[in-house]
Amino acid sequence: MSDSRRRRLIKRGPEALADAILRHAERCDTANEIVERMIATPEENRKSFRRKIAGLKRSTRFVDWREADSLADKLEGLLDHLRTFVEDPREGTEFVAAFFRTDNATFERCDDSNGAVGSVYRWNAMKLFVEYALKCEDKDRLADLVVKLASENPDSVRGSLIDCAAEYLPEENIRTMITHFEELADREEDSYKKGDWLRFVGSLARQINDASLFERTMITSWGESSSACLDIASVYLESDDAESALAWLERMPTEKDHQIADRDRLLLAVYGRLGESEKQAQAAWRILRRSRSSGTLQDLLDVIGGEKRDEVIEGEVAAVLGKQQLSMTDAAFLIESGRLDDAETYLLDRAEQLDGDIYSSLIPLAKSMEAQDYPLVTSLLYRALLDSILKRAYTKAYSYGVRYLRKLDNLSKSITDWRNIDDHSAYMEHLLEKHGRKKSFWSRYDGDA
């Protein structure tokens, strides 16, 4: 919110603002709803909130993925409504708990493929609950409310309140909650439900840095799997017990690729705590060579000394250029390291491997090389992006494709040496030959001319 605009609006006076808001409310349901909230009494707002909660539970209208964002906006608006009339923290936590209890009915009638609706419960509702909970003096009642809420539906978004319990509850209450969930797990015969109770125990144990309890819970749930060993080591490290963390990392069974990377990142921190600089450097080298970036480079230099920066970069650039397989991360590393000529050579020599479908990697590379005035390789990257769009006939992205082709038109004017790449005229002939029937694309391109 701009302070300048706010001050200027205040100067207009309440009558002018009221008239403007009412005119807008006549045309906009959301604005009209905000007006109704502002002029209602607190009790009227309470009744309205309860009515909407009941409506969410009763509703059976299916919401497909295209409408999910709209439903998420309505749910978020309901939480914003709550902020306007509830100041008492006890009442606030109870109202948010009532909101959480709409989860089953909501998800049963909603295709939340993009996660928009779930994030309102897991994030917005959780944050509002914490806001009220921090002001609650009766922590025993608060802990009972959260336990009851989570116990009613353990495999749900309500677990987000368990995962942040340490933000609003003291350790004493958390240990009481742990005991409750341990008892439920001991009595549970259903393996899935037992897993839910143990997950709550593990989350709470981690939040109070009870590494030994977390260890027991993870072993009961997962045995000594690679994932369990990693999590246990991480919690021991968080609890300032680097030796136990190292012991668990050394007990890891055969690791998958992503687990090897996670293990090395933990080892980097563990060896640092233990003062094992040589082993820490070995871990840092493995991390850098697995995924070269300015960040992993800096992690290594923090261990071996910043004065070795140029030496390290020289060696890694040689290693990158020596591999025929194209790596987007290696290309980005060359650019981040200021080795732009090497980056151009690297990409041009591997032009046939460029995949425009990986646009999230290609676009940053194209923008970087364009900003540094490397038109030939920039053209190569934008061609890959455009080719991908046209090959897939992805009409929703045609506006981007037109933009890329316009860039290619402009870039071609500053390229004097096309090396072994088709010049712009030849490329345009190829496009028209292969995709000339895509009238929607070409009409947009001609329209932008």
The reported pLDDT for the residue numbered 135 is: 97
29: pLDDT strictly greater than 80? no
The reported pLDDT for the residue numbered 72 is: 96
Q: What is the mean pLDDT of the chain?
A: 93
- The tens digit of pLDDT for each residue in 407-447 reads 999 999 999 999 989 999 999 999 999 999 999 999 999 88
Residue 110: strand, helix, or coil: strand
Q: Rounded to whole angstroms, how far apart are CA atoms 287 and 272?
A: 15
16: pLDDT strictly greater than 90? no
* Residue whose entry in the numeric block shows the structure tokens 């439900």: 193
Task: Give the predicted TM-score (pTM) of the model.
Answer: 0.82
The reported pLDDT for the residue numbered 361 is: 94
Q: Percentage of the chain with pLDDT > 70? A: 95
Task: Determine phi and psi for 190, rounding to 5 degrees.
Answer: -75, 120
The reported pLDDT for the residue numbered 24 is: 73
Q: Indicate the pLDDT class of residue 35, thresholds 50, 70 and 90.
A: low
Cβ within 8 Å of residue 294, ≥6 positions away: 333, 336, 337
The reported pLDDT for the residue numbered 447 is: 83
- The tens digit of pLDDT for each residue in 249-260 reads 999 987 677 799
Residue 169, judged by CB atoms within 10 A of its CB (0-12, 13-18, 19+), counts as buried
The reported pLDDT for the residue numbered 23 is: 80
48: pLDDT strictly greater than 70? yes
Per-residue tokens: 404 = 């890329």
Mean pLDDT, residues 297-319 taken together: 98
Per-residue tokens: 428 = 């345009």
305: pLDDT strictly greater than 80? yes
The reported pLDDT for the residue numbered 40 is: 63
Angle 314-319-322 from CA coordinates, rounded to 5°: 125
Q: Rounded to whole angstroms, how far apart are CA atoms 49 and 169?
A: 27
DSSP string across 212-252: HHHHHHHHHHH-S-HHHHHHHHHHHHHTT-HHHHHHHHHT-
Q: Indicate the pLDDT class of residue 36, thresholds 50, 70 and 90.
A: low
Q: Indicate the pLDDT class of residue 8, thresholds 50, 70 and 90.
A: confident
The reported pLDDT for the residue numbered 84 is: 87
The reported pLDDT for the residue numbered 30 is: 66
Mean pLDDT, residues 146-158 taken together: 93
What region does 327 belong to: left with phi over 0, alpha with psi -120 to 50, or beta? Answer: beta
The reported pLDDT for the residue numbered 39 is: 59
Pick from 117, 102, 120: nearest CA to 57: 102
Q: Indicate the pLDDT class of residue 402, thresholds 50, 70 and 90.
A: very high
The reported pLDDT for the residue numbered 356 is: 94
The reported pLDDT for the residue numbered 151 is: 94
236: pLDDT strictly greater than 60? yes
The reported pLDDT for the residue numbered 15 is: 80
Q: Indicate the pLDDT class of residue 108, thresholds 50, 70 and 90.
A: very high
The reported pLDDT for the residue numbered 358 is: 94
The reported pLDDT for the residue numbered 9 is: 75
